[in-house]
Amino acid sequence: MIPKRLLLVLGLPLLFAFIVRFIFGVDSWNSLFSVMTISFLVLLPSGIGAMTIYFSKPENVKSRAYQIFMPWCPVFAFFVLTLILSIEGWACLIMVLPLFMLGASLGD
């Protein structure tokens, strides 16, 4: 059985990532494309990082390594799921992965 804390730490940021991805994927907002792209590249990873740290146990958050690397887990899960579900292509994911990892780590 999956612990409740793990569902909060990984599941909620992952759910947030998919909701934001689908909101930013709405075709009728193409006129705002550049603003929305920049917002997506900043909002999504920083939101994932903030949510991951917020829902983590306080004793885990004291570790600097945890603060930096734990937000990467939901980012990787998001990337794997979007690849499996054919929402994004692997080339796009590889190019944006470093930005998302950095943004998630700074989002905490």
Query: What residues make up the domain containing 37?
Result: 4-21+32-106
Q: Quote the pLDDT of residue 20.
A: 84
Q: Quote the pLDDT of residue 29.
A: 56
How far apart, in whole angstroms, are the C-alpha atoms of residue 60 and residue 72? 15
Query: Is 75 domain-assigned?
Result: yes
Query: Is 27 domain-assigned?
Result: no
Report the domain count for the chain. Answer: 1
User: Which tens digits make up the pLDDT trace of 2-56?
Assistant: 678 888 888 899 898 888 888 776 665 555 555 567 777 788 899 999 999 999 9
Query: Is 26 domain-assigned?
Result: no
Query: Is 91 domain-assigned?
Result: yes
DSSP 66-87: HHHHTTHHHHHHHHHHHHHTTS
Query: Is 10 domain-assigned?
Result: yes
Query: Is 61 domain-assigned?
Result: yes
- CB within 8 Å of 9: residues ≥ 6 apart: 52, 55, 56, 70
